[in-house]
Amino acid sequence: MNNFIFHNPVKLIFGKGSISKIALEIPQEKRVLLTFGGGSIKNNGVYDQVKDALKSHTCFEFWGIEPNPTVQTIRRAVELLKREKADFVLAVGGGSVLDASKLISAGALYEGDPWDLVLKPSLYKKSIPYGTVITLPATGSEMNRGAVISNSDTKEKFSFYSSFPLFSVLDPETTFTLPPYQKACGLADTFVHIMEQYLTMTDESPLMDRWSESILSTIAEISPSITKGDINYDNMATFMLSATMALNGFTAMGVSQDWATHLIGHELTALEGITHGHTLAIVLPGTMWVMRAEKLGKILQYGKRVWDIEHSDNETAVKMIVAKTEEFFKSLGLKTRLSENGVKESTIQEIVRRFRERDYHLGENKSVDSVKAGEILNFVK
Amino acid sequence: MNNFIFHNPVKLIFGKGSISKIALEIPQEKRVLLTFGGGSIKNNGVYDQVKDALKSHTCFEFWGIEPNPTVQTIRRAVELLKREKADFVLAVGGGSVLDASKLISAGALYEGDPWDLVLKPSLYKKSIPYGTVITLPATGSEMNRGAVISNSDTKEKFSFYSSFPLFSVLDPETTFTLPPYQKACGLADTFVHIMEQYLTMTDESPLMDRWSESILSTIAEISPSITKGDINYDNMATFMLSATMALNGFTAMGVSQDWATHLIGHELTALEGITHGHTLAIVLPGTMWVMRAEKLGKILQYGKRVWDIEHSDNETAVKMIVAKTEEFFKSLGLKTRLSENGVKESTIQEIVRRFRERDYHLGENKSVDSVKAGEILNFVK
């Protein structure tokens, strides 16, 4: 096991009816900037619950944070926050609203352009406090310090790390009205978050391995019912809990991590606008196949423990396991090939070019470079 | 899944050589009370590492915290702390030293007798900050708010809850010199901590179930090598991580809990002086058997997933699973029957009397009363 430091102070407030509890978490004297997405929360009752909970607080509303939130939108939110002297941010929505709110909270205490903070992490010092009400299980943003921010001018998409949310409210009932595609992308996102922390070396930590496999097996177990459209509280609660636990550091203690699939996926979002979770479902089978020599032991362990797949010939086993993984993503209703999603050869070439330009060496062994990225994308054409 | 609130802000600093990092975690101006047990840390190098790390801090030393720490000892530590105006406590040792230090840190800000805080939780308001260097994987005290405090005058033993440690340092190398009996008790303690949070109802949370089973399976996997006396860094690291993860709330989200075995075990310690983890190994098979009607589904799931035991007749299956659990504790080198440990009939009667006097109704269904406690103890006679 590798040495590690683990620290996650986020307070999770989980369960039906929990939104009413936010008033106790935000000091009465705070001036609260509420940040929202496109308006679906006005239809499912979440907006009303938040407003009701904060009826004694001074609030300002910022609407219109888009999927794959852009710094262009965030700049406007920071302007509003500074103009109204808000000193607390409450993000209400999916991972995009939460991610944007991390940069908004950081931008509140930064004089320059928020994009500086994304490009140059050392400039980041501090955020104003913020909390979240998450309505879409997927990114895990509700219990980590990370965000992914896009720039619509440059068609770039980068990670940004700030402080943890003070608290996050997870009410599974808020997920009941999610469209099928968003649920599918959330399930894929959760699954691949674990794979990035798990599908690396063997024998680093038997406990972390089992915890990761627990989330993978649980997602596999509940996905058919969720995909069918069942509205089952316990299933949605399990989905929500799994998504949060998949990217809060709980499964990453002392083990290597990969994240090559994510960085390739980010480019597919930046260049083609494909939803984040969907890009991961497309790319992961390619990463597994192309990197199979380095990941062999873990691929076999994953296949056996999560899908009950074994074969005396390793190459055949890997083929079956990669196919099963792709089949799982298909079963969610996702198209898993680039061509099915309208991605052209020129996009593959541009991603390879960007990887070469940035001199990327990704993955647990730093062996995923522009050439490997090209092979991965060609495998999933 | 039940509604829950989860919040665990402890910073874990894990791995070999980590003790040197404590200096950065304790502000330079703090006056630090170091709390220790009986002196084994002077032989294994831990004391020297701590003193070296804190060579620029003002430190005071309190030695002699005993297993099952007593309020009598804690009173003396609080006196020293107040006399020296210490404003930070660093606990260095096993769970007993950590537990005692929780009451010492609380006692620092309380005018009256620390035992008041144990008997009347509402009197507890605040602690001075404290950190820990844990050297014995077992109680999980390094990542929770709980402590168990004894009173040697009244032969009582009760739980106490204060604030979380600011940080805990876990260096697996500090465990290399542990005596076999302490390792055995630590493995049993870890195993039963999970069972208290797991062996209740079925179908509350598939993810929490799997995470619990992960710890049980991992402990089962590494125990033979540890019991044999192998000094293997990765195994001891896994043991240490498992012990911490077994009682930090990570496996308790939204699920029912039991804790009857613990409360019976506490009485065995209070009355007979048997080490905590050992009492749990004695009592648990009794709890499983006597409460088998209420716990049936979960016992069968546990037997199948952790021990690969199945049988078409449920009663036979339960019998096999309980026997396997007792056999596991025996394999650690622990005597699992009261009579083997010199516990007399009068002690059983005294425990039943105390349970009746306190009108205890324990367990996930509040159905473990004095009569059931008697049945449990008679099963493990």
Q: Are strands A88-93 and A31-35 parallel, antiparallel or unpaired?
A: parallel
> Rounded distance, CA B345 to CA B353, Å?
12
CA distance A8 to chain B (A): 6
CB B51 within 8 A of CB B108: no
pLDDT digits (tens, 9 = 90+) for B61-120: 999 999 999 999 999 999 999 999 999 999 999 999 999 999 999 999 999 999 999 999
Q: Which of B2, B11, B17 sits opposite A5 (nearest CB)?
A: B11
CB B176 within 8 A of CB B197: no
The size of the A-B interface in CB pairs under 8 A is 120
Interface subset of B 177-206, CB within 8 angstroms of A: 203, 205-206
Q: Which of A163, A191, A211 to mutate to test the interface with B (most CBs of B within 10 A)?
A: A211
Q: What does B130-158 look like in DSSP terms, one character per residue?
A: EEEEE-S-SS-GGGSSEEEEEETTTTEEE
CA distance B184 to chain A (A): 19
Q: What is the pLDDT of residue A39?
A: 85
Measured between CA atoms, the residue of chain A closest to residue B209 is A214
- Which of A41-45, A116-120, A208-212 has the least mean pLDDT? A41-45
pLDDT category of residue A364 using cuts at 50, 70 and 90: very high
Q: Are strands B130-134 and B167-170 parallel, antiparallel or unpaired?
A: parallel
Q: In this structure, is the dihedral angle defined by the CA atoms of residues B14, B20, B26 and B31, taken in order, positive or negative? A: positive
What residues of B are in contact with residue A205 (Cβ under 8 Å)? 237-238, 241
Does A366 touch chain B if contact means CB atoms closer than 8 Å? no
Across the range A160-173, mean pLDDT stands at 98
Taking phi over 0 as left and psi of -120 to 50 as alpha, with beta for the rest, B226 belongs to alpha
CA distance A213 to chain B (A): 9
Q: What is the pLDDT of residue A155?
A: 87
Tokens describing residue B39? 């002196």
- Residue A249 carries which DSSP code? S
Q: Which of A6, A218, A241 sits opposite B12 (nearest CB)?
A: A6
Does A325 touch chain B if contact means CB atoms closer than 8 Å? no
Q: What is the pLDDT of residue A263?
A: 96
CB neighbours of B249 closer than 8 A, spacing ≥ 6? B6, B7, B8, B144
Write down the ipTM of this complex.
Answer: 0.97
Q: With an 8 Å Cβ cutoff, are A207 and B242 in contact?
A: yes
Percent of all residues in chain A with a pLDDT value above 90, rounded to a whole number = 98
Across the range B47-55, mean pLDDT stands at 97
Report the C-alpha dihedral over residues A44, A48, A54, A58, rounded to 10 degrees. 110
Nearest to B97 by CA among B128, B139, B45: B139
pLDDT digits (tens, 9 = 90+) for B214-252: 999 999 999 999 999 999 999 999 999 999 999 999 999
Which residues are A132's β-sheet partners? A91, A168
CB B53 within 8 A of CB B19: yes
Tokens describing residue B205? 């949370």
Q: What is the pLDDT of residue A213?
A: 98
Q: What is the largest CA-CA distance in chain A?
A: 66
Does A341 touch chain B if contact means CB atoms closer than 8 Å? no
Q: Which of A205, A218, A237 sits opposite B1 (nearest CB)?
A: A237
Q: Which of A1, A14, A172 sits opposite B253 (nearest CB)?
A: A14
Measured between CA atoms, the residue of chain B closest to residue A167 is B7
Q: What is the pLDDT of residue B22?
A: 96
CB A149 within 8 A of CB A157: yes
Report the C-alpha dihedral over residues B206, B212, B213, B219, rounded to 10 degrees. 170
pLDDT category of residue A157 using cuts at 50, 70 and 90: confident
Q: What does A156-213 look like in DSSP terms, one character per residue?
A: EEEEEE-PPPSEEEE-GGGGTT--HHHHHHHHHHHHHHHHHHHSS-SSS-HHHHHHHH
Q: Which of A206, A214, A253 sits opposite B207 (nearest CB)?
A: A214
- Give alpha helix (H) positions in chain A: 22-25, 40-43, 46-53, 71-83, 95-107, 114-119, 180-198, 206-228, 233-245, 260-272, 276-290, 292-307, 314-331, 345-357, 370-379
Q: With an 8 Å Cβ cutoff, are B1 and A15 in contact?
A: yes
SS3 A2: coil
Q: What is the pLDDT of residue B125?
A: 97
Across the range B184-198, mean pLDDT stands at 98
- Asked if pLDDT for residue A97 goes beyond 90, the answer is yes
- Which of A126-130, B9-13, B39-43 has the least mean pLDDT? B39-43
Tell me, rounded to whole angstroms, the distance of Cα A138 from its chain centroid. Answer: 6
Q: What does B166-221 look like in DSSP terms, one character per residue?
A: SEEEE-GGGGTT--HHHHHHHHHHHHHHHHHHHSS-SSS-HHHHHHHHHHHHHHHH
CB A93 within 8 A of CB A131: no
Q: In this structure, is the dihedral angle defined by the CA atoms of residues B291, B296, B297 and B303, taken in order, positive or negative? A: positive
Q: What is the pLDDT of residue A351?
A: 98
Q: Which of B2, B3, B166, B202 to mutate to test the interface with A (most CBs of A within 10 A)?
A: B3
Q: With an 8 Å Cβ cutoff, are B1 and A254 in contact?
A: no
What residues of A are in contact with residue B211 (Cβ under 8 Å)? 211, 214
Across the range A199-228, mean pLDDT stands at 98
Q: With an 8 Å Cβ cutoff, are B207 and A2 in contact?
A: no
pLDDT digits (tens, 9 = 90+) for B305-357: 999 999 999 999 999 999 999 999 999 999 999 999 999 999 999 999 999 99
| Residue where the block lists tokens 């896994």 | B238
pLDDT digits (tens, 9 = 90+) for B156-171: 889 999 999 999 999 9
- Asked if pLDDT for residue B155 goes beyond 90, the answer is no
> Rounded distance, CA A127 to CA A137, Å?
24
Q: What is the pLDDT of residue A126?
A: 97
Does B1 touch chain A if contact means CB atoms closer than 8 Å? yes
Q: What is the pLDDT of residue B157?
A: 87
Q: Which of A16, A210, A217 sits opposite B218 (nearest CB)?
A: A210
CB B127 within 8 A of CB B106: yes
Q: With an 8 Å Cβ cutoff, are B6 and A5 in contact?
A: no
In angstroms, the Cα distances linking B203 to A235, A242, A245, B256, B310 are 11, 15, 19, 11, 19
Task: Tally Cβ neighbours within 10 Å of residue A9.
Answer: 16
Q: Which of B206, B211, B214 sits opposite A221 (nearest CB)?
A: B206
Q: With an 8 Å Cβ cutoff, are B234 and A9 in contact?
A: no
Q: With an 8 Å Cβ cutoff, are A214 and B210 in contact?
A: yes
> Rounded distance, CA B184 to CA B274, Å?
13
CB neighbours of B347 closer than 8 A, spacing ≥ 6? B268, B271, B272, B338
- Asked if pLDDT for residue A254 goes beyond 90, the answer is yes
Does A214 touch chain B if contact means CB atoms closer than 8 Å? yes
pLDDT digits (tens, 9 = 90+) for A230-247: 999 999 999 999 999 999
Tokens describing residue A101? 């709110």
- Asked if pLDDT for residue A104 goes beyond 90, the answer is yes
pLDDT category of residue A202 using cuts at 50, 70 and 90: very high
CB neighbours of B98 closer than 8 A, spacing ≥ 6? B91, B132, B134, B139, B141, B142, B147, B165
Does B20 touch chain A if contact means CB atoms closer than 8 Å? no
Domains of chain B, first to last:
11-174 (3.40.50.1970), 179-379 (1.20.1090.10)
Measured between CA atoms, the residue of chain A closest to residue B233 is A1
> Rounded distance, CA A364 to CA A367, Å?
8
pLDDT digits (tens, 9 = 90+) for A281-334: 999 999 999 999 999 999 999 999 999 999 999 999 999 999 999 999 999 999
Average pLDDT, chain A: 97
The answer, as to whether pTM is greater than 0.90, is yes
Nearest to A206 by CA among B257, B333, B225, B299: B225
